[in-house]
Amino acid sequence: MGVLFDYFAADSDEQAASAIDRVGGPGTADPDASAQAFDTVSVKGIDPVVQMGTLEALLTGRPYDASAVGQPLAIRDGGERVVLALADSLTIALAEACPERLAEVAVPWSRTEEFWGSADPDTLTEILRDLAGLAGRAQAASQRLYCWISV
């Protein structure tokens, strides 16, 4: 089993950090606290730092070094589970990208070193459309995007 990445929307850093202990990730309801599931897109193999930083650079035209992922908000099990905030600029870029732009960006993104230069652009386009939908819903609700990581 590989590393799981769940991208999700939350109202605040505190609320996002509470997802760290949810069995199954932020997309599952928390039965102990009667908390609803977060709006979530689950992916495997697309990390929030390097790959999403590269995506942001491709979408915005800004250098990769300008990408900003926040500090971890919660860490468990020696770093095997982490919740961190994504850059607001990435959320905006995803929310504002039209489907054609997402498909266009998927091609060079698929060829990056982190995908070993051989990811399927069509599969990445579908993932980008899901992430763009999540980003749009987050913006409409005045929420931020986060990533829950589980090794």
- CB–CB of 143/11 below 8 Å? yes
Query: What's the CATH number for 4-22+37-150?
Result: 3.40.1760
How confident is the model over 80-93, as pLDDT tens digits?
Answer: 999 999 999 999 99
pLDDT > 90? residue 67 = no
Q: Given this model, what pLDDT does residue 66 score?
A: 62
DSSP 8-state symbol, 31: T
Q: Which of 68, 66, 30, 62 is CA-nearest to residue 49?
A: 68
How confident is the model over 1-53, as pLDDT tens digits?
Answer: 588 999 999 999 999 999 998 888 899 886 666 678 999 999 988 999 889 99
Which two three-digit tokens encode residue 36? 């609803």
